């Protein structure tokens, strides 16, 4: 019907599928009534695109595309795009089996999720090292498998693309080949993910048209890579076009990553340029790393030493929350050391006696959070477990604990502390009432508050503002400017937004995150209204403890814990708290939190909430805990986990 309608009006049409969407592209000089077209059966959306690239354009697909690389064990599945930062690393070229094996292990240890390396090197000089060819690719595949990482490697001809397809997880189209259209068509038709470098002299539009070639030939998984362009400047190898990142992110739904190594060409400048790219909104980086850059057969001067790469990854991790993202990390292969933990999710209470549920079950069991869709807790949940993970909305914090305990939720996400407004005491109290719940993970989420209202509302029409009390507390300075507003507390910030969406009032506004405004179809009247931009909420991931075993969801990774949370009280005698803290101090154990809370029903007696950093030697930490138990009263170990920066 749609096809006939368009053809009758003089358009030529093309058909594509992008994920689950069927897209019909039409071009020509005909005239069409867009609203009428939108009413035809089966039409979800009509987008008039002014862009020559249809499939790559955000006008065609407003939501971010998330590209999936790898997936078949043991090469793990890695995602690029959305709220994650994915880092690809490895040498410029595969030089030997040992070199790629050694580099893969090093970059994996620092947190890279995809291994890079060239087997076919398009070098400027025909006399320079050209790569090891198919042998190099075989070494690389082995290295990827040894480290559980998917691999990406450059393809230089359509014939080689066919030969390489079973060995690589992702094809790289190099800068020099960005406009090699026969190559793009062949690689696109193989359906594998593609990393498309920007040509050294290509405009943004030419680059996106090359992406269009790939999409039009059949692949949906295209990642764009800015790697510096040719300008009059000769100090650096190329000029990193930072502004291309926000420009392309607005024009296209495809993920954009940055290669600061080839852009800058000078080792000492690579990390700064990479951090700038992340700050500008890049979805990841690709970085050249060599165990001994001086001996590298290509691009040694721009290859990072493994220590420099490690430092860069830590800096990215610290920067990520500022741009509302999380550095993607995948589990290290059999690192162990998380103490006693169950690999499998506890079964529902009803069949608890029958042993743990099977591994496959955990993927279908939801993770619980409190609030409406768009709540900050839901964003924290998606950061840890992925956007598509099944989730359960609970009406209170207590019901999260109940759902985790009875097995209807695999895990729960609960806020425990905000950097401006302090602890969420209700959850600390719940930990005491639920001894079979353990903390297994942590996430710090940057909280940017917005004033959200109806399309027709503005700052002058508002009389009532709804939010969670924490939302009010974090926006105190802003609210003080409007003393006439009446504040109404809600269970969570997203519930406040949902209530306006239902009532459609111009008098009522809500304080919540931008995501809640989008989900409920409301407008952001003012953004960034929190008193201080350094506003973070610390969420913890909770699961059920059965005996000594604690379930650690696979998405939390298997790196050993570096943080633990404890609760205890002390005898009412001089020096009793000091005696406990002395045990920690003598072992050089750092406290990252110490807070006292009144014990319910025992006036003037207090519990101490303590977070500590676990030292490298874990055996020593076990001794410390045993010692603490002898000095403290009511000692409770809430959990050991990997702290987020």
Contact 289, 259 (CB under 8 A): no
Instruction: Indicate which residue of 537, 551, 568, 621 is catalytic.
Output: 537
Q: DSSP for 252-285?
A: BSS-EEE-HHHHH--HHHHHHHHHHHHHTT-SEE
Residue 187 contacts ligand PEP per CB under 6 A? no
d(CA 216, CA 185): 8
**Which one, 94 or 208, has the nearer CB to Mn ion?**
94
Of 594, 624, 601, nearest to 433 (Cα)?
601
637 among known catalytic residues: no
Single residue of 141, 220, 227, 237 touching ligand PEP by CB under 6 A: 227
d(CA 304, CA 271): 9
Select the binding partner of residue 197 from Mn ion, ligand PEP, none (C-beta < 5 to 8 A, by kind): ligand PEP
DSSP label of 139: H
362 among known catalytic residues: no
Contact 170, 195 (CB under 8 A): yes
**Which one, 123 or 398, has the nearer CB to ligand PEP?**
123
Beta bridge partners of 92: none
Number of chain positions touching ligand PEP (CB under 6 A): 10
Cα four-point dihedral sign 204, 206, 211, 212: positive
Give exposure, 539-562, as e/b (b: 16+ Cβ within 10 Å).
bbbbbbbeeebbbbbebbbbebbe
Task: Compose the 37-76 pattern: x for residues touching ligand PEP by CB under 6 A, - for all others.
Answer: ----------------------------------------
Residue 296 contacts ligand PEP per CB under 6 A? no
Residue 92 contacts Mn ion per CB under 5 A? yes
d(CA 153, CA 286): 12
Contact 12, 28 (CB under 8 A): yes
Task: Compose the 121-160 pattern: x for residues touching ligand PEP by CB under 6 A, - for all others.
Answer: ---------------------------------x------
Please identify the residue of the shown chain whose CB is closest to the bound ligand PEP. 174
Segment interacting with ligand PEP (CB under 6 A) among 50-58, 60-68, 171-179, 564-572? 171-179
**Which one, 177 or 569, has the nearer CB to ligand PEP?**
177
Residue 194 contacts ligand PEP per CB under 6 A? no
Restricting to residues 523-582, name those near ligand PEP by CB under 6 A.
none
Segment interacting with ligand PEP (CB under 6 A) among 173-181, 184-192, 403-411, 473-481? 173-181
Segment interacting with Mn ion (CB under 5 A) among 76-84, 91-99, 308-316, 431-439? 91-99
CB neighbour list of residue 480: distance below 8 Å, 6 or more residues apart: none
Restricting to residues 76-95, name those near ligand PEP by CB under 6 A.
92
The distance of closest approach from Cβ of residue 258 to ligand PEP in the complex, given in angstroms and rounded to an integer, is: 11
User: Residues 482, 486, 487, CA angle at the centre, nearest 5°?
Assistant: 100
Residues with catalytic annotation?
A: 537, 539
The site for ligand PEP (CB under 6 A) is made up of: 92, 118, 154, 174-176, 197, 227, 259, 262
The site for Mn ion (CB under 5 A) is made up of: 92, 299
């Amino acid at each position: 019907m749609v096809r006939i309608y368009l053809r009758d009006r003089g358009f030529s049409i093309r058909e594509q599928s992008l994920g689950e969407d069927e897209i019909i592209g039409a071009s020509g000089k005909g005239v069409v009534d867009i609203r009428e077209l939108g009413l035809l059966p089966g039409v979800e959306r009509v987008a008039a695109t002014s862009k020559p690239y249809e499939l790559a354009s955000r006008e065609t697909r407003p939501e971010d595309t998330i590209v999936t690389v790898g997936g078949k064990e043991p090469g793990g599945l890695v995602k690029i795009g959305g709220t994650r930062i994915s880092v690809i690393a490895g040498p410029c070229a595969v030089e030997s089996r040992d070199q790629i094996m050694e580099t893969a292990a090093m970059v994996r240890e620092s947190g890279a999720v995809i291994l890079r390396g060239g087997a076919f090197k398009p070098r400027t000089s025909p006399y320079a090292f050209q790569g090891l060819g198919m042998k190099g690719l075989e070494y690389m595949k082995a290295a990827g498998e040894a480290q559980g990482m998917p691999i990406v490697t450059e393809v230089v001809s359509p014939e080689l693309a066919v030969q390489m397809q079973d060995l690589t997880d992702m094809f790289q189209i190099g800068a020099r080949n960005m406009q090699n259209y026969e190559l793009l068509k062949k690689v696109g038709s193989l359906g594998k993910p593609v990393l498309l470098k920007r040509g050294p002299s290509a405009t943004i539009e030419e680059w996106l048209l090359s992406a269009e070639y790939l999409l039009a030939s059949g692949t949906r998984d295209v990642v764009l890579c800015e790697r510096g362009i040719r300008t009059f400047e000769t100090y650096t190898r190329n000029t990193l076009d930072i502004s291309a990142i926000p420009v392309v992110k607005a024009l296209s739904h495809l993920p954009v990553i940055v290669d600061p190594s080839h852009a800058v060409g000078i080792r000492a400048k690579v990390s700064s340029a990479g951090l700038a790219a992340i700050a500008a909104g890049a979805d990841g980086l690709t970085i050249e790393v060599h165990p001994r850059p001086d001996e590298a057969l290509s691009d040694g001067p721009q290859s990072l030493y493994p220590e420099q790469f490690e430092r860069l990854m830590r800096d990215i991790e610290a920067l990520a929350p500022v741009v509302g993202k999380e550095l993607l990390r995948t589990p290290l292969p059999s690192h162990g050391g998380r103490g006693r933990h169950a690999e499998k999710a506890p079964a529902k209470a009803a069949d608890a006696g029958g042993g743990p549920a099977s591994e496959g079950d955990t993927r279908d069991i939801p993770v619980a959070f409190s609030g409406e869709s768009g709540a900050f807790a839901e964003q924290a949940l998606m950061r840890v477990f992925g956007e598509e993970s099944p989730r359960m909305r609970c009406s209170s914090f207590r019901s999260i604990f109940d759902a985790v305990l009875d097995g209807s939720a695999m895990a729960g996400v609960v806020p425990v502390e905000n950097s401006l407004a302090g602890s969420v005491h209700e959850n600390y109290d719940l930990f005491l009432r639920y001894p079979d719940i353990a903390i297994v993970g942590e996430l710090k989420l940057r909280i940017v508050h917005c004033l959200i209202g109806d399309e027709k509302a503005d700052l002058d029409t508002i009389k009532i503002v709804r939010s969670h009390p924490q939302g009010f507390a974090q926006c105190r300075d802003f609210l003080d400017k409007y003393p006439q507003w009446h504040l109404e507390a809600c269970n969570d910030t997203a519930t406040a937004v949902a209530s306006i969406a239902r009532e459609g009032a111009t008098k009522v506004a809500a304080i919540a995150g931008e995501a809640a405004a989008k989900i409920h179809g409301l407008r952001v009247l003012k953004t960034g209204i929190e008193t201080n931009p350094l506003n973070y909420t610390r969420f913890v991931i909770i699961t059920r403890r059965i005996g000594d075993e604690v379930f650690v969801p696979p998405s939390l990774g298997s790196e050993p814990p570096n943080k633990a949370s404890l609760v205890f009280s002390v005898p009412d005698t001089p020096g009793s708290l000091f005696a406990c803290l002395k045990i920690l101090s003598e072992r050089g154990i750092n406290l990252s939190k110490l807070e006292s809370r009144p014990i319910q029903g025992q006036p003037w007696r207090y519990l101490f909430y303590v977070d500590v950093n676990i030292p490298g030697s874990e055996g020593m930490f076990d001794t410390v805990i045993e010692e603490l138990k002898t000095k403290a009263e009511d000692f409770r170990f809430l959990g050991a986990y990997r702290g987020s920066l």
